Amino acid sequence: MKLKLSETYQTEKEMICELCKKFYVLGWVSGTGGGMSIKVEDNLALIAPSGVQKEEIKPSDLFLIDFFLSTEHSASYSIVENPPEHKISACTSIFVNIYKQRASAGAVIHSHSLNAVMLTKVVKDKEVTLKGYEMLKGLEGSTYFGSHTLPILDNVEHECDLADAVGEIVAKYPSAHAVLVRDHGIYVWGKTPQQAKVHAECYDYLFSAYVKELHLKALNLI
Amino acid sequence: MKLKLSETYQTEKEMICELCKKFYVLGWVSGTGGGMSIKVEDNLALIAPSGVQKEEIKPSDLFLIDFFLSTEHSASYSIVENPPEHKISACTSIFVNIYKQRASAGAVIHSHSLNAVMLTKVVKDKEVTLKGYEMLKGLEGSTYFGSHTLPILDNVEHECDLADAVGEIVAKYPSAHAVLVRDHGIYVWGKTPQQAKVHAECYDYLFSAYVKELHLKALNLI
Amino acid sequence: MKLKLSETYQTEKEMICELCKKFYVLGWVSGTGGGMSIKVEDNLALIAPSGVQKEEIKPSDLFLIDFFLSTEHSASYSIVENPPEHKISACTSIFVNIYKQRASAGAVIHSHSLNAVMLTKVVKDKEVTLKGYEMLKGLEGSTYFGSHTLPILDNVEHECDLADAVGEIVAKYPSAHAVLVRDHGIYVWGKTPQQAKVHAECYDYLFSAYVKELHLKALNLI
Amino acid sequence: MKLKLSETYQTEKEMICELCKKFYVLGWVSGTGGGMSIKVEDNLALIAPSGVQKEEIKPSDLFLIDFFLSTEHSASYSIVENPPEHKISACTSIFVNIYKQRASAGAVIHSHSLNAVMLTKVVKDKEVTLKGYEMLKGLEGSTYFGSHTLPILDNVEHECDLADAVGEIVAKYPSAHAVLVRDHGIYVWGKTPQQAKVHAECYDYLFSAYVKELHLKALNLI
């Protein structure tokens, strides 16, 4: 374990806190739902704590974890900085497996957005294909005339039990920047925190549009 | 009457004012609707005043009441601090009965959220069961695969007349953290003001989802 | 003309500016729509200017008008303070007639809220009756078990041509605190600016609920 | 190239940054979508950069371009100020052609508003006619009893390929202050940045109302 510097990565810590405030306004982390992680070194990541109001977190509330770069799915990690009053998030091993399977991921946002969740209610399949919107171009590698497919995992009782499934599915969908979890929400990543936020906004817009479009079709308006 | 300290509980008073501003933005206390209470001692609680814009209240606008801990439903209390220009809220006896019946409740939020009210329009029954959303886990004691049931009381003309019914129903639903009142709104509590807010946000999300889901089912989209 | 004091009524001027900012966030005065007036003396009222972004107005942008207290509908007035760069609002004579017909009105809010406008699309009648919501109690004189009826006028090309019709209809509906104008919006008043805002929020909530309820009934969900 | 003054047009640069923050809150520029331009001289315009979060841009992030006033559609321009870390926006040539075809346009807003996009999903035609709302009067030259028609172009893969089509269509619809692009969004202009914003708000309101009205008609509620 190389680091034990509670003021290290202060910029990234502040960024997580600031972004969580914005996500709260967008309705993505209400209750104590959702969360965020930034990878600060190849094997080190900051993680928002579990079970707290995400819009209220301070830099000193964040966990710093060390994980081993490997292609195996088991989400092993050790805690480098542990804010004494907090519990590590149940989605930590999910974040870890995303970083392990997607080397380019530099940040992950977990949102409970109702747009994402309602989409998983109307799409019974194990994946959803998004197409027909300019906003697709906000997703790296996607085009307007192309389409973009995201996997949908079924939810489980204990979030940590999703970690292996997330790791496997991330490997199977190399063009996806997110995994949907039915009845639950979404994990979205990007090369940087900025790109993770852009991807999260584009997906949320596309999910909202997807359900609206189905709705208008059901009324023969499209 | 033990206390007459207008600056006592200043932190809790400021918290009520700050939270009411947030609830206004969420649409829970528009008009002069809704309100909030924090229990500051075993038998003492702060209560927002009646008939005023909740997003504008200051610490000096709050009432402090003393109530007797008993299991009887009658919501007796005496006023310890009475801001001269204000009228005590009609929901005071409801807050009191919630504290009496639910010893663990440390704060109560009363919201007129349209999500809550529309749910009571579509559910004709005397209770509603919420299930199928990860957000259930934000409600203490609930699980994703389980379900969570809330009582729905019919509204009455004078809010104070709801007090006994609220007291009885709170006792009958030990797992619930809230009582819905048809055409009116919701009373939500938690061990702390933070937990009350978390519960209120989770319920509001679940109510919105409940009506959306019914809507999508009516169009054969689910 | 008794006054020529550009700093008179500074508090009320600031209140109009501050409230217009809030109304913009609520979507009531987007474009350059909507407006606000406060009656500062028996025959004097401040009025927001025409054709400007309401969320940007400053105290020095406001008109001060002098009108004669009479029961006749003709909305005569003289301009006491005329910000040189602005045009007096086309709804000035409407505000004047409301003050003339409703002696208790101390402030009027004009909103283009889409909730109000969509209600006037679904209600073809010359009035709408609101009932079945606790929020009715935020409207002075209304009860939960009672109902509350508002007149709906048809829109005209030139807003000033509505003035006589508004004056007449205000006299005919003594319990109403507002007049709806089809395809256009609403004029809401109260004894004070605070009460006008409370009435406007309650009506907006009730209009939104009214259309939602019709929608859910059309799908047999209510 | 006449200018190389990085602090020139500072007021207009700050205005673009401030307005983009507001548009983000309105949901018009989420992801990295949308953008804005202000014409600062007859042949000079500021343009927001491509592929960045529009709510985060600073004055120093803006491009200044010089274009030739002509009636031809080819959107030729040279870059006067080029922030080294940014890429010029793909919609630059669209902005240029709007300025060339509409001499009175002093500012252009490009929005990805979902209200605009859903309208282009329900309207299969090459234009849409808006009528029956007071808000039409916020669009210069429009009346309540009249109607207002906007062209709808089909989207293309590369935004720059829209430039000629936009130039042609702007010339064909002299009363329009905007061009809709199907599945994509809208380009809205005005004589000043203020009027462009007012037009954009009025259109967005009218698009939202248009789809709501169709929806209510499909349920026989209108």
Tokens of B217: 């089912």
d(CA A158, CA C194): 49
Q: Is A181 on the interface with B (CB under 8 A)?
A: yes
Identify residue B194 by its one-letter amino acid code. Q
Q: Kindly provide the b/e burial profile for residues B130-162, where b requires at least 16 CB atoms within 10 angstroms of the residue's own CB.
A: bbbbbbbbbbeebebeeebebbbbebbeebeeb
pLDDT of residue B1: 43
Q: What is the mean pLDDT of residues C203-216?
A: 98
Q: Which among D136, D151, D131 has a CA at the least distance from the CA of D202?
A: D136
Tokens of C60: 């020095």
pLDDT of residue C50: 87
d(CA C26, CA D65): 37
d(CA D65, CA D89): 11
Q: Do D201 and C30 touch (CB under 8 A)?
A: yes
Q: Do A222 and D121 touch (CB under 8 A)?
A: yes
Q: What is the mean pLDDT of residues C164-175?
A: 96
* Residue B212 near residue A115, CB atoms below 8 Å: no
Tokens of D60: 């120093």
Q: Is C134 on the interface with B (CB under 8 A)?
A: yes
Identify residue D130 by its one-letter amino acid code. L
Q: D174 burial class (0-12, 13-18, 19+ CB within 10 angstroms)?
A: exposed
Among B134, B157, B159, B213, the one annotated catalytic: B134
Residue A218 burial (CB count, 10 A): 15
Chains A, B: CB contacts under 8 A, how many?
63
* Residue A126 near residue A152, CB atoms below 8 Å: yes
pLDDT of residue C83: 95
pLDDT at B101 over 90: yes
d(CA D100, CA D119): 27
Q: C84 burial class (0-12, 13-18, 19+ CB within 10 angstroms)?
A: exposed
Catalytic residues of C, by residue number, are 134
pLDDT of residue B70: 56
* Residue B47 near residue B57, CB atoms below 8 Å: no
N residues, chain B: 222
Q: Do D205 and C112 touch (CB under 8 A)?
A: yes
Least-confidence region, from C63-77, C127-141, C168-182: C63-77
ipTM value for the complex? 0.94
Q: Is D184 on the interface with A (CB under 8 A)?
A: yes
Tokens of C190: 């109260």
d(CA B221, CA D219): 16
Q: Is D155 on the interface with A (CB under 8 A)?
A: yes
C-alpha B83: how far from its chain's center? 22
Bridge partners for A151 per DSSP: A127
Residue B12 burial (CB count, 10 A): 21
Nearest to D122 among A133, A208, A221 (CB): A221
Residues of chain A numbered 60-99 and touching chain D (CB < 8 Å): none
Q: Is C135 on the interface with D (CB under 8 A)?
A: no
Q: What is the mean pLDDT of residues B108-128?
A: 98
Residues of A in contact with D218 (CB under 8 A): 219-221
Chains C, D: CB contacts under 8 A, how many?
64
Q: Do A31 and B201 touch (CB under 8 A)?
A: yes
Q: Is B30 on the interface with C (CB under 8 A)?
A: yes
Which of A28, A57, A114, A214 is the best substitution to test chain B (most B C-beta atoms within 10 A)?
A114
Contact partners, residue B41, CB within 8 Å, separation at least 6: none
Mean pLDDT of chain A: 93
Q: Is C222 on the interface with B (CB under 8 A)?
A: yes
Q: What is the CA radius of gyration of chain B?
A: 17
Catalytic residues of A, by residue number, are 134
pLDDT of residue D68: 72
* Residue C180 near residue C116, CB atoms below 8 Å: yes
d(CA D185, CA A205): 13
Nearest to C132 among B33, B183, B219 (CB): B183
First-to-final CA distance of chain C: 58
* Residue B172 near residue B105, CB atoms below 8 Å: no
List helix spans (H) across B5-53.
10-25
Q: Is B33 on the interface with C (CB under 8 A)?
A: yes
Q: Do D53 and A197 touch (CB under 8 A)?
A: yes
* Residue A93 near residue A163, CB atoms below 8 Å: yes
d(CA D211, CA D117): 10
Q: Do C138 and B33 touch (CB under 8 A)?
A: yes
Q: Do D218 and A220 touch (CB under 8 A)?
A: yes
Which of B113, B135, B139 is the best substitution to test chain A (most A C-beta atoms within 10 A)?
B135
> A193-218 and A10-25 helices cross at what angle (nearest 10)?
20
* Residue D84 near residue D109, CB atoms below 8 Å: no
D21 to chain C nearest CA, in Å? 14
d(CA C212, CA D52): 38
Tokens of B137: 């886990």
Contact partners, residue B83, CB within 8 Å, separation at least 6: B49, B60, B61, B62, B63
Return left, alpha or beta for D219; rule: phi > 0 is left, psi -120 to 50 is alpha, else beta: alpha
pLDDT at B179 over 70: yes
Q: Do C138 and B31 touch (CB under 8 A)?
A: yes
Mean pLDDT of chain B: 93
Tens-digit pLDDT profile for residues A170-196: 999 999 999 999 999 999 999 999 999
pLDDT of residue D6: 55
Mean pLDDT of chain C: 93
Return left, alpha or beta for A95; rule: phi > 0 is left, psi -120 to 50 is alpha, else beta: alpha
Q: Do A194 and D30 touch (CB under 8 A)?
A: no
Is the CA virtual torsion A158, A164, A168, A173 positive or negative?
positive
Q: A168 burial class (0-12, 13-18, 19+ CB within 10 angstroms)?
A: middle
pLDDT at A4 over 80: no
Q: A219 burial class (0-12, 13-18, 19+ CB within 10 angstroms)?
A: middle
| Helices and strands: H and E segment counts in chain B | 5, 9
N residues, chain A: 222
Q: Kindly provide the b/e burial profile for residues A58-92, where b requires at least 16 CB atoms within 10 angstroms of the residue's own CB.
A: ebebbbbbbbeeeeebebebeebbebeebebbbbb
d(CA A54, CA A31): 8
Q: Which residue of D has its CA nearest to C34?
A: D135
Q: Is D221 on the interface with C (CB under 8 A)?
A: yes
Q: Is C143 on the interface with B (CB under 8 A)?
A: yes
Which of D29, D30, D208, D211 is the best substitution to test chain A (most A C-beta atoms within 10 A)?
D30
C-alpha A191: how far from its chain's center? 12
Determine the 3-state secondary structure of A107 from DSSP: strand
Neighbours of chain A (3+ CB pairs under 8 A): B, D
d(CA D187, CA D166): 9
Tens-digit pLDDT profile for residues A107-159: 999 999 999 999 999 999 999 999 999 999 999 999 999 999 999 999 998 87
Determine the 3-state secondary structure of D92 from DSSP: helix
Inter-CA distances, C52 with C34, C57, D140, D183, Å:
10, 8, 13, 32
Q: Do A112 and B204 touch (CB under 8 A)?
A: no
Tens-digit pLDDT profile for residues C4-40: 455 689 999 999 999 999 999 999 999 999 999 999 9
Q: Which among D124, D107, D115 has a CA at the least distance from the CA of D192?
A: D107
pLDDT at B184 over 80: yes
Q: Do C198 and B157 touch (CB under 8 A)?
A: no
Residues of A in contact with B135 (CB under 8 A): 31, 33, 112
Residues of B in contact with A118 (CB under 8 A): 209, 212-213, 216
Residues of A in contact with D214 (CB under 8 A): 221
D131 to chain A nearest CA, in Å? 19
Q: What is the mean pLDDT of residues B148-176?
A: 94
Reported as a pLDDT band with limits 50, 70 and 90, residue B3 is: very low
First-to-final CA distance of chain D: 58
pLDDT of residue A14: 97
* Residue A130 near residue A149, CB atoms below 8 Å: yes
- Report strand pairing: C63-67 vs C44-47: antiparallel
pLDDT of residue A140: 97
Residue with tokens 């299991």: B71
Residues of D in contact with C27 (CB under 8 A): 205
pLDDT of residue A69: 60
Nearest to D155 among A134, A209, A220 (CB): A134
Residue D18 burial (CB count, 10 A): 11
- In this prediction, the residues of chain D whose per-residue pLDDT falls under 50 are 1-4
Which of C22, C109, C135 is the best substitution to test chain B (most B C-beta atoms within 10 A)?
C135
Tens-digit pLDDT profile for residues A91-105: 899 999 999 999 999
Q: Do D216 and C53 touch (CB under 8 A)?
A: no
pLDDT of residue A2: 47
D144 to chain C nearest CA, in Å? 6
Q: Is D218 on the interface with A (CB under 8 A)?
A: yes
Tokens of A19: 């972004």
Residues of B in contact with C222 (CB under 8 A): 121-122
pLDDT of residue A161: 87
Among D12, D41, D127, D134, the one annotated catalytic: D134
Q: What is the mean pLDDT of residues B160-169?
A: 92
Tens-digit pLDDT profile for residues A29-85: 999 999 999 999 999 999 999 889 999 999 999 999 998 765 555 668 999 999 999
Residues of C in contact with B27 (CB under 8 A): 205
B134 catalytic? Reply is: yes
Q: Do C134 and B155 touch (CB under 8 A)?
A: yes
pLDDT of residue B152: 98
Tokens of D128: 């849409």
Q: Which long-range contacts (CB under 8 A, 24 or more apart) does C148-151 make?
A: C148/C175, C148/C176, C149/C173, C149/C175, C149/C176, C150/C176, C150/C178, C150/C179, C150/C180, C150/C203, C151/C126, C151/C127, C151/C176, C151/C179, C151/C180
Which of A29, A30, A154, A184 is the best substitution to test chain B (most B C-beta atoms within 10 A)?
A30
Tens-digit pLDDT profile for residues D191-205: 999 999 999 999 999
Q: Is A192 on the interface with D (CB under 8 A)?
A: no
Nearest to C220 among B31, B155, B218 (CB): B218
d(CA C53, CA C21): 10
d(CA D188, CA C53): 17
Q: What is the CA radius of gyration of chain A?
A: 17
pLDDT of residue C70: 56
